[in-house]
Amino acid sequence: MQLKHWKLERDADGLAWAILDTADSSTNTLGAAVMTELGLILDECEKNPPKGLIFKSAKEAGFIAGANIEEFTSADTPEKARALIKRGWETYNRLAAVRYPTLALVRGHCMGGGTELALACRYRIAVDEPGTKFALPEVMLGIVPGWGGMLRLPQIVGPAAALDMMLTGKNIDAKRAKKMGLVDACVPPRVMENAARMLVRSGKPTRQQQLPFLQKLMNGPLKGFVASGARKQVAKRARQEHYPAPYAIIDQWQNYGGNTLAVPAGEPTSLDALINSPTTRNLIRIFFLQDRLKAFGKDAKDFSPRHVHVVGAGVMGGDIAAWCVLRGMTVTLQDQTVERIAPAVGRAAKFFEKKLRDKKLARFALDRLIADPKGDGVRQADVIIEAIFENLEAKQALFADIEARAKPDALIASNTSSLKLADIAAKFKDPSRLVGIHFFNPVAMMPLVEVVAGDVTSPEVAQRAAAFVRKIDKLPLPVKDAPGFLVNAVLGPYMNEAMKCVDEGMAPTTIDAAMVAFGMPMGPIELADTVGLDVAVHAGKQLVADAVPPKKLVELFEAGKLGKKSGQGFYTWVEGKAQKIPEGTHRAGAGDTGGSAELAQRLLKPLLDATQRLVNNNVVADADLADAGVIFGTGFAPYTGGPMNYMTGAKT
């Protein structure tokens, strides 16, 4: 048997090992050739049944990254898509039906079709390492887990947990996978192969057999009740006309046994409907745009920063420091006094406990966050990030000290959001060293980081900055040194237009509801309150051509009502949440007469115009990168494919 992507090895105990090593690829993906060879392996094992078949990866990068996305995108008709789904569905059903025991030994990422392969095995073991993650992320691409995930995952972990995993696409780590019943064991690397041998030969009942009686009922007579609850939860986050895939997952699980091939073509939840949906095309486009962002910084392969020094322990600086620690780095955090640093350390401690879910690991992480009021860490740091208040003179004075003390090869960066990098660098002895690394708030949630190159920033420095952003698991977007760069430059006019609507008498809730209905994660008025009305006033002066600021904004600012941070802005804030008064209690204005869609278009126009202008002015390299930046930096409705793509669609 000639295999290019797999190895089938048999040991003295009669066990067979199917080892995946996808040729000419750094990761394992399940393309047509790989799946064909899997069928050949099952043929061989049918002829000479082993005492057990164990699947593992030969790649250091992980177990299986999922289906081959390039092959999927070429399946641009329902007929081609059905053939692709049928291949995986039938192969995995065949694997699930073999008489000999099977086991998936998962080390590293296990995504999409990889998780579905593991689900088709009798047993699963997760290796207890940070990189071990399970996910069924198909919904993020506008499609469904069609190779058996919708059938088997609810039978193994129960429908509530399974639907949550499939409808969000979220990652599940090794410990969580064991706790929820997704895997049978979670073991350290040193014993993983022995653990696999023991479990596959144990005769232990499967997870399906061990599922509690109530969970079995929820997979049977109570399916309708579970599905109804799931639809209500999905409806709170996504409209079916914008995102049909989550509704298709619920329907196919409830009514078709998780078999997407069984759904009649005319149904709105069918594979045909999903393949023909513009949402699916746009979400797949975004997937490739994300890959393009991830590629920035690859040229700086030899840059491996371990020590980060952050100056400024406010919300932004403190959160940048905490995120870098979470990604494995040692961070010295500088501010004027230890007392000013203490709140950031306290926030970081809670953040680590929440993210790591292990008090010992959280304590180890906190040990790598070092209060440094004197700034001694500058001398040893590989990366230095300034995150103080937006004052040119203060930044220039700070950087004069940093440049004098920093290592010659240290990366020196500013997190400025509104000042020109060239102005900050004017007092540098070597201004080519300064680069912008602009994070967004909240740091832990926002995936994008703008990498700002000033007129004299060295290209090598910009590459190293992008490499650093990737090493902390963020998406770098190269932008030129212009007011607001990309993201803030498009948000400023958008939020300004929304506040003009308030001045005209529209209710903030009406304005926000229109944009949430369009697909934004948050309305512009709530967003202004969240970032701070003091920031909105300052940004408006820098980024909006209209010389007259919105009256209500100025009124609130002068009264010290700064939004979420003060507890009162356009909304009243209680425990971090905006208290939205029913619309009927607001004064109606002329602007309230328009429909939600018309209002959304009015609010979008300044954002779209600004995006087009920035592309024309080469602030960002091209329209595709502008779409990626605005989606990942603002949450712009992903189903549209981004503002530039949306405008193209609107014109056609």
Write the pLDDT tens digit of every residue in 360-372. 999 999 999 999 9
Q: Which of 28, 277, 414, 417 is catalytic?
A: 417
Least confident of 185-199, 568-582, 631-645: 568-582
Q: Is the pLDDT of residue 587 over 60?
A: no
Match 């058996």 to its residue by tokens. Answer: 148
Q: How far is 619 from 479, CA to CA, in rounded Å?
A: 6
Confidence of residue 357 (pLDDT cuts 50, 70, 90): confident
Q: Is the pLDDT of residue 426 over 90?
A: yes
Question: Tell me, what's the pLDDT at 589?
Answer: 37
Question: Tell me, what's the pLDDT at 390?
Answer: 86
Question: Tell me, what's the pLDDT at 586?
Answer: 39
Average of per-residue pLDDT across 348-356: 94
Average of per-residue pLDDT across 540-557: 83
Average of per-residue pLDDT across 7-35: 95
**Region of residue 16 (phi > 0: left; psi between -120 and 50: alpha; otherwise: beta):** beta
- pLDDT tens figures, 233-290: 999 889 999 999 999 999 999 999 999 999 999 999 999 999 999 999 999 999 999 9
User: Which is it for the CA torsion 174, 180, 182, 186, positive or negative?
Assistant: positive
Cβ neighbour number for residue 72 with a 10 Å cutoff = 21
Question: Tell me, what's the pLDDT at 583?
Answer: 46
Least confident of 63-72, 109-118, 369-378, 499-508: 63-72
User: 488 an active-site residue?
Assistant: yes
Average of per-residue pLDDT across 174-197: 96
User: 25 an active-site residue?
Assistant: no
Average of per-residue pLDDT across 41-58: 97
Share of the chain above pLDDT 90, in %: 86
- Strand-pairing partners, residue 412, are 384, 434
Q: Which of 57, 488, 496, 645 is catalytic?
A: 488
Q: How far is 54 from 127, CA to CA, in rounded Å?
A: 14
Q: How far is 479 from 626, CA to CA, in rounded Å?
A: 10
Structural domains for the chain: 6-276 (3.90.226.10), 307-485 (3.40.50.720), 488-618 (1.10.1040.50)
Q: Is the pLDDT of residue 545 over 80?
A: no
Six token digits for residue 652? 């056609």
Q: What beta strand segments (E) does 25-150 contain? A: 29-30, 52-57, 62-64, 66-67, 102-106, 109-111, 123-127, 133-135
Q: How far is 580 from 558, CA to CA, in rounded Å?
A: 22
Average of per-residue pLDDT across 173-178: 95
Average of per-residue pLDDT across 388-413: 95
Residue type, 464: R
303 contacts: CB under 8 Å, gap ≥ 6: 411, 464, 467, 468
Question: Tell me, what's the pLDDT at 444?
Answer: 94
At what angle are helices 244-256 and 278-295 packed, to 10 degrees?
A: 120
**What φ, ψ does residue 281 adopt, rounded to 5°?**
-60, -40
User: 538 an active-site residue?
Assistant: no
Q: Which of 450, 496, 497, 526 is catalytic?
A: 450
Q: How far is 639 from 242, CA to CA, in rounded Å?
A: 6
- Strand-pairing partners, residue 7, are 19
Confidence of residue 544 (pLDDT cuts 50, 70, 90): confident
Question: Tell me, what's the pLDDT at 543?
Answer: 74
Q: Is the pLDDT of residue 539 over 60?
A: yes
Question: Tell me, what's the pLDDT at 593?
Answer: 40
Question: Tell me, what's the pLDDT at 650?
Answer: 59
Question: Tell me, what's the pLDDT at 73?
Answer: 84
Q: How far is CA 157 from the centre of its chain?
A: 24
Average model confidence (pLDDT) across the chain: 93
Residue 200 contacts residue 223 (beta carbons within 8 Å): no
Question: Tell me, what's the pLDDT at 61?
Answer: 83
Q: Give the per-residue SS3 of 397-446.
A: HHHHHHHHHCCCCCEEEECCCCCCHHHHHHHCCCHHHEEEEECCCCCCCC
- pLDDT tens figures, 75-85: 878 899 999 99
User: Radius of gyration (Cα) for the chain, nearest Å?
Assistant: 27
Residue 63 contacts residue 107 (beta carbons within 8 Å): yes
Question: Tell me, what's the pLDDT at 526?
Answer: 95
Confidence of residue 546 (pLDDT cuts 50, 70, 90): low
Share of the chain above pLDDT 70, in %: 97
140 contacts: CB under 8 Å, gap ≥ 6: 169, 283, 287
- pLDDT tens figures, 96-132: 999 999 999 999 999 999 999 999 999 999 999 989 9
Q: Is the pLDDT of residue 567 over 90?
A: yes
Q: How far is 587 from 198, CA to CA, in rounded Å?
A: 71
Confidence of residue 300 (pLDDT cuts 50, 70, 90): confident
Match 């995930």 to its residue by tokens. Answer: 149
The H or E element that residue 349 is part of is helix 338-356
- Strand-pairing partners, residue 109, are 62, 133
Q: How far is 12 from 10, CA to CA, in rounded Å?
A: 7
Q: Is the pLDDT of residue 49 over 50?
A: yes
Q: Is the pLDDT of residue 329 over 80?
A: yes
Give the global pTM: 0.89
User: 228 an active-site residue?
Assistant: no
25 contacts: CB under 8 Å, gap ≥ 6: none
Q: Which of 28, 277, 438, 645 is catalytic?
A: 438
